[in-house]
Amino acid sequence: MNIKWDAKKYTQDFSFVHQYGNDLTELIDKMDQTTVLDLGCGNGALTQKLAEEGMLVLGMDASGDLLQIAKEKHPGLSFLEGDATNFTLPEPVDVVFSNAVFHWIERKKQPDLLQCVYRSLNPNGQFVFEFGGHGNNALIHDALKAEFEKPGFSYQFPFYFPTIGEYSALLERAGFKVTYAILFDRMTELQGENGLSDWIHMFIKTPFENISEAAQEEIITETVKKLLNKLFYDDKWHADYVRIRMKAVKE
Protein backbone atom coordinates (compact mmCIF):
# COMPACT_ATOMS: atom_id res chain seq x y z
CA MET A 1 0.00 0.00 0.00
CA ASN A 2 1.51 3.27 -1.13
CA ILE A 3 -1.33 5.79 -1.06
CA LYS A 4 -0.81 9.53 -0.59
CA TRP A 5 -3.82 10.64 1.43
CA ASP A 6 -5.47 14.04 1.51
CA ALA A 7 -5.54 13.72 5.28
CA LYS A 8 -7.59 16.84 6.01
CA LYS A 9 -10.29 16.05 3.44
CA TYR A 10 -10.39 12.42 4.59
CA THR A 11 -10.97 13.58 8.16
CA GLN A 12 -13.54 16.20 7.20
CA ASP A 13 -15.63 14.45 4.54
CA PHE A 14 -15.17 10.70 5.08
CA SER A 15 -15.83 10.30 8.79
CA PHE A 16 -18.22 7.42 8.02
CA VAL A 17 -15.16 5.19 7.62
CA HIS A 18 -14.38 5.21 11.34
CA GLN A 19 -17.99 5.73 12.46
CA TYR A 20 -19.02 2.42 10.95
CA GLY A 21 -16.21 0.81 12.95
CA ASN A 22 -17.63 1.92 16.29
CA ASP A 23 -19.59 -1.27 16.95
CA LEU A 24 -16.64 -3.41 15.86
CA THR A 25 -15.13 -2.73 19.28
CA GLU A 26 -17.95 -4.79 20.81
CA LEU A 27 -16.26 -7.97 19.59
CA ILE A 28 -13.36 -7.38 21.98
CA ASP A 29 -13.47 -9.37 25.22
CA LYS A 30 -12.23 -6.72 27.63
CA MET A 31 -10.12 -7.47 30.69
CA ASP A 32 -8.47 -5.26 33.28
CA GLN A 33 -5.75 -3.20 31.61
CA THR A 34 -6.42 -4.63 28.15
CA THR A 35 -3.63 -3.58 25.80
CA VAL A 36 -4.58 -2.89 22.17
CA LEU A 37 -2.84 -2.07 18.91
CA ASP A 38 -5.08 -0.08 16.56
CA LEU A 39 -3.49 -1.15 13.29
CA GLY A 40 -4.06 1.37 10.50
CA CYS A 41 -5.43 3.93 12.96
CA GLY A 42 -5.66 6.80 10.45
CA ASN A 43 -6.67 10.01 12.19
CA GLY A 44 -7.05 8.25 15.54
CA ALA A 45 -10.85 8.46 15.90
CA LEU A 46 -11.25 4.78 16.77
CA THR A 47 -8.05 4.80 18.80
CA GLN A 48 -9.75 7.40 20.98
CA LYS A 49 -12.91 5.28 21.27
CA LEU A 50 -10.88 2.27 22.39
CA ALA A 51 -9.18 4.42 25.02
CA GLU A 52 -12.54 5.75 26.19
CA GLU A 53 -13.67 2.15 26.71
CA GLY A 54 -10.85 1.73 29.21
CA MET A 55 -8.22 0.02 27.08
CA LEU A 56 -4.54 0.90 26.87
CA VAL A 57 -4.13 1.60 23.19
CA LEU A 58 -1.35 2.34 20.72
CA GLY A 59 -2.23 3.61 17.24
CA MET A 60 -0.12 2.67 14.20
CA ASP A 61 -0.42 3.88 10.62
CA ALA A 62 1.78 4.14 7.53
CA SER A 63 0.59 7.68 6.70
CA GLY A 64 2.60 10.40 8.39
CA ASP A 65 -0.02 12.99 7.38
CA LEU A 66 -2.86 11.10 9.03
CA LEU A 67 -0.74 10.45 12.12
CA GLN A 68 -0.05 14.16 12.42
CA ILE A 69 -3.78 14.81 12.59
CA ALA A 70 -4.19 11.94 15.07
CA LYS A 71 -1.57 13.44 17.37
CA GLU A 72 -3.13 16.90 17.14
CA LYS A 73 -6.65 15.65 17.85
CA HIS A 74 -5.71 13.13 20.53
CA PRO A 75 -2.62 14.44 22.34
CA GLY A 76 -3.08 12.06 25.26
CA LEU A 77 -2.67 8.94 23.12
CA SER A 78 0.39 7.22 21.68
CA PHE A 79 0.91 6.82 17.95
CA LEU A 80 3.58 5.11 15.89
CA GLU A 81 4.35 5.15 12.17
CA GLY A 82 4.63 1.65 10.76
CA ASP A 83 3.90 -0.70 7.85
CA ALA A 84 1.16 -3.25 8.62
CA THR A 85 3.08 -5.95 6.72
CA ASN A 86 6.42 -5.36 8.41
CA PHE A 87 6.32 -4.22 12.02
CA THR A 88 7.27 -5.30 15.51
CA LEU A 89 6.14 -3.99 18.89
CA PRO A 90 8.30 -3.42 21.97
CA GLU A 91 5.91 -5.69 23.90
CA PRO A 92 3.05 -7.94 22.76
CA VAL A 93 -0.54 -6.81 23.25
CA ASP A 94 -3.82 -8.49 24.19
CA VAL A 95 -5.71 -7.27 21.11
CA VAL A 96 -4.89 -6.21 17.57
CA PHE A 97 -7.80 -4.17 16.21
CA SER A 98 -8.19 -2.86 12.67
CA ASN A 99 -10.93 -1.15 10.66
CA ALA A 100 -11.05 -0.51 6.89
CA VAL A 101 -7.37 -1.23 6.25
CA PHE A 102 -6.59 -4.72 4.95
CA HIS A 103 -8.25 -4.33 1.53
CA TRP A 104 -5.45 -1.86 0.71
CA ILE A 105 -2.85 -4.64 1.09
CA GLU A 106 -2.30 -6.88 -1.92
CA ARG A 107 -3.02 -10.59 -1.65
CA LYS A 108 0.59 -11.72 -1.74
CA LYS A 109 1.44 -9.60 1.31
CA GLN A 110 -1.47 -10.76 3.45
CA PRO A 111 0.56 -13.63 5.01
CA ASP A 112 3.22 -11.08 6.03
CA LEU A 113 0.51 -8.96 7.66
CA LEU A 114 -0.90 -11.94 9.56
CA GLN A 115 2.54 -13.06 10.73
CA CYS A 116 3.20 -9.58 12.13
CA VAL A 117 -0.14 -9.59 13.93
CA TYR A 118 0.43 -13.09 15.31
CA ARG A 119 3.86 -12.16 16.68
CA SER A 120 2.42 -9.00 18.25
CA LEU A 121 -0.21 -10.82 20.32
CA ASN A 122 0.02 -12.38 23.75
CA PRO A 123 -1.02 -16.04 24.05
CA ASN A 124 -4.80 -16.28 23.47
CA GLY A 125 -4.66 -12.72 22.14
CA GLN A 126 -7.59 -11.43 20.09
CA PHE A 127 -7.49 -10.24 16.48
CA VAL A 128 -10.60 -8.17 15.67
CA PHE A 129 -10.99 -6.52 12.29
CA GLU A 130 -13.21 -5.40 9.43
CA PHE A 131 -12.43 -4.46 5.83
CA GLY A 132 -13.80 -4.68 2.31
CA GLY A 133 -15.10 -8.14 1.48
CA HIS A 134 -16.00 -10.03 -1.68
CA GLY A 135 -18.21 -7.85 -3.89
CA ASN A 136 -17.29 -4.58 -2.20
CA ASN A 137 -18.21 -1.57 -4.38
CA ALA A 138 -18.82 -3.89 -7.32
CA LEU A 139 -21.17 -1.43 -9.04
CA ILE A 140 -18.59 1.34 -8.87
CA HIS A 141 -15.65 -0.78 -9.99
CA ASP A 142 -17.60 -2.36 -12.87
CA ALA A 143 -18.66 1.08 -14.10
CA LEU A 144 -15.13 2.43 -13.84
CA LYS A 145 -13.74 -0.56 -15.71
CA ALA A 146 -16.18 -0.01 -18.57
CA GLU A 147 -15.26 3.69 -18.82
CA PHE A 148 -11.52 2.91 -18.71
CA GLU A 149 -11.89 0.50 -21.60
CA LYS A 150 -13.70 2.95 -23.90
CA PRO A 151 -10.52 4.96 -24.69
CA GLY A 152 -8.37 1.82 -24.53
CA PHE A 153 -7.13 1.98 -20.93
CA SER A 154 -6.86 -1.05 -18.66
CA TYR A 155 -8.50 -0.85 -15.25
CA GLN A 156 -5.97 -2.24 -12.79
CA PHE A 157 -8.07 -3.36 -9.84
CA PRO A 158 -6.29 -1.94 -6.78
CA PHE A 159 -7.92 -3.80 -3.86
CA TYR A 160 -8.11 -7.16 -2.14
CA PHE A 161 -11.69 -8.20 -1.31
CA PRO A 162 -11.71 -11.83 -0.08
CA THR A 163 -14.49 -14.24 0.80
CA ILE A 164 -14.86 -15.53 4.34
CA GLY A 165 -13.54 -18.93 3.27
CA GLU A 166 -10.43 -17.47 1.65
CA TYR A 167 -9.52 -15.26 4.58
CA SER A 168 -10.31 -17.92 7.19
CA ALA A 169 -7.83 -20.21 5.47
CA LEU A 170 -5.14 -17.52 5.59
CA LEU A 171 -5.79 -16.94 9.29
CA GLU A 172 -5.63 -20.64 10.09
CA ARG A 173 -2.37 -21.06 8.21
CA ALA A 174 -0.95 -18.20 10.28
CA GLY A 175 -1.87 -20.01 13.50
CA PHE A 176 -5.19 -18.37 14.39
CA LYS A 177 -8.51 -19.94 15.36
CA VAL A 178 -11.42 -18.12 13.73
CA THR A 179 -14.22 -17.54 16.23
CA TYR A 180 -16.47 -15.10 14.34
CA ALA A 181 -16.96 -14.24 10.67
CA ILE A 182 -19.62 -12.42 8.68
CA LEU A 183 -19.86 -10.92 5.19
CA PHE A 184 -22.58 -8.30 4.87
CA ASP A 185 -23.89 -5.56 2.57
CA ARG A 186 -23.77 -2.01 3.89
CA MET A 187 -24.99 0.62 1.46
CA THR A 188 -23.21 3.76 2.67
CA GLU A 189 -24.38 7.34 2.35
CA LEU A 190 -21.85 9.77 0.89
CA GLN A 191 -21.63 13.47 1.69
CA GLY A 192 -22.53 16.30 -0.68
CA GLU A 193 -24.00 16.67 -4.15
CA ASN A 194 -20.71 15.39 -5.63
CA GLY A 195 -20.48 12.52 -3.15
CA LEU A 196 -19.64 9.76 -5.61
CA SER A 197 -17.16 11.85 -7.59
CA ASP A 198 -15.45 12.90 -4.35
CA TRP A 199 -15.35 9.27 -3.20
CA ILE A 200 -13.66 8.15 -6.43
CA HIS A 201 -11.13 10.97 -6.21
CA MET A 202 -10.31 10.03 -2.60
CA PHE A 203 -10.12 6.24 -2.80
CA ILE A 204 -9.46 5.16 -6.39
CA LYS A 205 -5.95 6.36 -7.11
CA THR A 206 -3.74 3.61 -8.52
CA PRO A 207 -5.74 2.92 -11.71
CA PHE A 208 -5.51 6.59 -12.70
CA GLU A 209 -1.72 6.75 -12.56
CA ASN A 210 -0.16 7.79 -15.88
CA ILE A 211 -3.51 9.01 -17.26
CA SER A 212 -3.92 12.69 -18.05
CA GLU A 213 -6.03 14.81 -15.74
CA ALA A 214 -8.49 15.54 -18.52
CA ALA A 215 -8.95 11.83 -19.25
CA GLN A 216 -9.35 11.11 -15.56
CA GLU A 217 -12.13 13.65 -15.20
CA GLU A 218 -13.88 12.33 -18.30
CA ILE A 219 -13.83 8.78 -16.92
CA ILE A 220 -15.12 9.89 -13.51
CA THR A 221 -17.86 12.09 -15.02
CA GLU A 222 -19.14 9.27 -17.23
CA THR A 223 -18.95 6.75 -14.38
CA VAL A 224 -21.04 9.00 -12.16
CA LYS A 225 -23.64 9.43 -14.93
CA LYS A 226 -23.83 5.67 -15.42
CA LEU A 227 -24.47 5.07 -11.70
CA LEU A 228 -27.03 7.84 -11.21
CA ASN A 229 -30.00 5.46 -11.33
CA LYS A 230 -28.36 2.88 -9.08
CA LEU A 231 -26.52 4.81 -6.37
CA PHE A 232 -28.33 8.15 -6.15
CA TYR A 233 -31.57 8.01 -4.18
CA ASP A 234 -33.28 9.93 -1.39
CA ASP A 235 -31.37 12.95 -2.77
CA LYS A 236 -28.03 11.43 -1.74
CA TRP A 237 -25.21 9.48 -3.28
CA HIS A 238 -24.34 6.06 -1.85
CA ALA A 239 -21.51 3.54 -2.18
CA ASP A 240 -22.29 -0.18 -2.40
CA TYR A 241 -20.08 -1.43 0.40
CA VAL A 242 -19.70 -5.09 1.37
CA ARG A 243 -17.75 -5.74 4.55
CA ILE A 244 -16.00 -8.76 6.02
CA ARG A 245 -15.89 -8.70 9.83
CA MET A 246 -13.94 -11.31 11.76
CA LYS A 247 -12.48 -12.27 15.09
CA ALA A 248 -9.66 -14.76 15.55
CA VAL A 249 -7.64 -15.93 18.54
CA LYS A 250 -3.94 -16.74 18.71
CA GLU A 251 -3.59 -20.43 19.52
Whether the Cβ atoms of residue 62 and residue 1 lie closer than 8 Å to each other: yes
- Binned average pLDDT, 10 residues per bin, the chain of 251 residues: 47 49 89 95 94 97 94 96 96 97 96 98 98 98 98 96 98 98 95 95 93 97 98 97 97 90
Assigned fold of 7-137+159-191+241-250: Rossmann fold (3.40.50)
Q: What is the DSSP string of 72-136?
A: HH-TTSEEEE-BTTB---SS-EEEEEEES-GGGS-GGGHHHHHHHHHHHEEEEEEEEEEEE-TTT
* Domains in the chain: boundaries: 7-137+159-191+241-250
Can you give the pLDDT at residue 26? 93
Can you give the pLDDT at residue 103? 96
**pTM for this prediction:** 0.91
